[in-house]
Amino acid sequence: MPPLDPIARPGVGALRGRRSGGVLRFDGVPFAPAPIGAARFRAPGAAPHWQGLRSAQALRAGPLQRPGPALGTRPVGATSEDCLHLNVVTPSTEGARPVMVWIHGGGFTNGWAADPIHAGGRLVARGDVVLVTLDYRLGALGWLHDPEVPERCNVGLRDQLAALHWVQANIDAFGGDPARVTLFGESAGAMSILALMGTPAADDLFSAAILQSGAVGGLQGPDRAAEVHARFAAALATDDPRAWATLPAATLLDAQGTVGEAFRRSTGRGAWRPLLDGDLVATAALEAQERPVNLRRPLLLGTNRDEQRLFVNLRVRLDAAQARARLAAALERRAPGAGAAAEEVLAAYAAHGAGATHAERLSAVFTDLHYRLQALAIAARRAEAGAETWLYRFDRPSPALRGRLGACHALEIPFVLGTLDAPGMERFAGSDDAARRLSERMIDRWSAFARDGRPGADWAPWLPSARQCWIAADAPGCRDDVDDALLELWPRLLPDLGL
């Protein structure tokens, strides 16, 4: 006789899950009502309750977004505005294990919790943790802010808060410990966690955090949010939110795309990001590290060695003038006058072996500018305040495109979640024995951090005087990976980096 389906009994109502690969899965669990009709662009409602036994044996559609490739390997699955669901994976409904809540990335416009690379069964089984993956509204539906109406600001972040409240109230029924909740996420997911670290309403909802390739400067200010709101209303030919509630989803996506592309061209950033509104999000990322609650929370963060190679087309031959022009424009957007230093920066990176071509050097500069330097700034700010921080760098290159991607953005995800066998991952991440061994080591480090608040006795917290960084590679280990000459270059050009 096959084993019976697992049953969990959280406070919202009983759930029937399924057994899969040695773990128990409870999929498609609603943590808020469907945000449709008049609930579009509004904060999520209270968690649904039900009578009887509800099936949690099927994954649900992801948030509304345009279909397209994810990591260049897999098509986005089904999408829906009825998207406020989470998935729980656990070794057992008994006990009180550490809980790891994954917030997916995708530039705040793409991604979904049910992506096969987020399945996480190996992380759960090997790490003996409870994994929660969640969806939140994307694009304009989640990140269009009306500075005049707080309930219409940071709606995607409010979705995440609603899911975290659900976890606090119900995760013990799945064998999880609500006092040991670690948030972890990549790219926009990590940026969301940085926003939550500056959100007083989240103070009691998690105890530790892991930031994978998150950017410090991910928040918008009220002026920029108002500009995005005005352009979105113009694209829809009405500024009445009541009318927006009845428009076809495709119309909203068209307007979202038009506004988003315009902002990428003019600012180099997307239009859809969390808002530093002074109401829900009270403090920006660097300053938030000094809040007492964050001084108590251990933090693990890092980047991939070649982040930007996923976005810089290395097959296009850039000459020196083209590379200089692209970098000058990016620097000028960061600080007026900084663009004049583009040639100096590229020459410094060339002298330090950052790639053989102009495109590779440009990619190395952007990797540091957008990711690595910001991680170092967080570590430095926390060290100065006396908070413990562990730094990593993922170095194992992708086998795709004959290795040209290097250790690019998002490559570490299947290693952390143990999903190297997900569709497309053999080509993108590799599935050889060395890759699987590295995945096991990363699972061991990440789950130890969730369990004990530190990733291992041999990995020391980062300090300015002892810059220990764990290098995730076929032969992993800790060392100082900072190039002092390059590190000294940036504060002179961009003092606001916080280094």
* Catalytic (active-site) positions: 187, 307, 409
CA-CA distance, 194 to 179, in Å (whole number)?
A: 20
**Consecutive H or E run containing 443:** helix 433-452
Q: Which of 169, 171, 165, 209 is nearest to 190 (CA)?
A: 209
* Contact residues for 180 (Cβ-Cβ < 8 A; gap 6+): 98, 99, 207, 208, 450, 451
What's the one-letter identity of residue 496? Answer: D
- What single-letter amino acid sits at 473? A
**Which two three-digit tokens encode residue 69?**
């490739």
Q: Report the alpha-carbon distance of residue 346 to residue 248 in Å, rounded.
A: 47
CA-to-CA distance for 389 and 438, rounded, in angstroms?
22
Pick from 90, 36, 457: which is nearest to 246 by CA? 36
b/e sequence 416-429, b meaning 16+ C-beta within 10 Å: bbbbbebebbbebb
In whole angstroms, give the CA distance from residue 233 to residue 256.
Answer: 10
Query: For residue 358, what is the DSSP state?
Result: H
The amino acid at 285: A
- How distant is the alpha carbon of residue 468 from its chain centre? 23
Direct distance between the N- and C-terminal alpha carbons of the chain, in angstroms, rounded to an integer: 62
Smallest CA-to-CA distance from 408 within 121, 244, 212 is with: 212
User: In one letter, which amino acid is 165?
Assistant: H
Q: How many CB atoms lie within 10 A of CB 315?
A: 8
